[in-house]
Amino acid sequence: MNNEEIRKIVADVLPEQRYKHTLGVAETAIELGARFAPTLCEASLERASLVHDYKKPFGRVELTELLQQYEPNEDFSSYGGVLLHGPVAAYLLKEDFGIEDEEIFHAVYYHTTGRAKMSLFEKIIFLADFIEPGRHFPGVHEVRKLAEKDLDLAVLESLRSTIHHLSAKHVLIHPLTLSAYNDQVRTAK
């Protein structure tokens, strides 16, 4: 499937606001790619962006069942339902869109938690998801400023801010989120 065909399917599946967010992520990922990783394929960044949230509207029970088919011992669900839509989408990319690219698989799988040793491609999707123009949550301004100059500092600040807000609510933090943060502390200068 080409990106235009993928876009049409995603437009049908997602509520209007989520679809707008998806287009914002695509636009932002292409901008970040041009700024920090001119060798990355723009069409691949667009593809990953278009599909990253396409399982977001599905319920927790359905997503948990789907993920268990691929990871029988998965422990995402025990950290909160919001963590499921990325991994499930990643596993269904081949079946639903004919996408077999490993770079896109990882970017979609880890787009909510991040992970240690994210590739440049993964960092760009992760950050674009945080700062696309439709985002208005606390802390987004600071991350947008950093993203004008320094990809790793911007990723670090987005993780710090997420962990700050989750911990203030006494919400469980997935180990992948914590190791993504630790890794960025080590690499970002």
Beta strands in 67-185 (DSSP E): none
Using a 10 angstrom Cβ sphere, with 0-12 exposed, 13-18 middle and 19 or more buried, the burial of residue 118 is buried
Q: Which is nearer to ligand DGI, 36 or 54 (CB)?
A: 54
Residues in contact with ligand DGI, shown as a per-residue x/- string from 73 to 92 under the rule CB under 6 A:
------xx-xx---------
SS3 category, 84: coil
102: tokens are 């490993």
Q: Which SS3 state, helix, strand or coil, does residue 107 take? A: helix
The residue within the footprint of ligand DGI, chosen from 56, 106, 115, 123 (CB under 6 A), is: 56
* Of the candidate residues 28, 44, 113, 158, the single one contacting ligand DGI (CB under 6 A): 113
Q: Which is nearer to ligand DGI, 40 or 180 (CB)?
A: 180
CB 90 within 8 A of CB 102: no
Q: Which of 178, 169, 140 is nearest to 157 (CA)?
A: 140
Q: How far is the CB of 160 from ligand DGI (least distance, A)?
A: 12
Three-state SS for 110? coil
Q: Spell out the residues 6+ positions from residue 108 whose beta carbon is closer than 8 angstroms to its own.
A: 48, 51, 52, 86, 89, 90, 93, 125
Closest separation in Å from C-beta 120 to Fe ion: 17
Q: How many residues bind ligand DGI (CB under 6 A)?
A: 18
What mask, x for binding ligand DGI by CB under 6 A, covers residues 153 to 182? ---------x---x----xxxx--x-----
By CB under 5 A, name the binding residues for Fe ion.
Answer: 53, 129
CB of 89 to ligand DGI, least distance (A): 10
Tell me which of 47, 111, 123, 144 binds ligand DGI, using CB under 6 A: 111
> Which residues inside 23-52 make contact with ligand DGI, applying CB under 6 A?
none
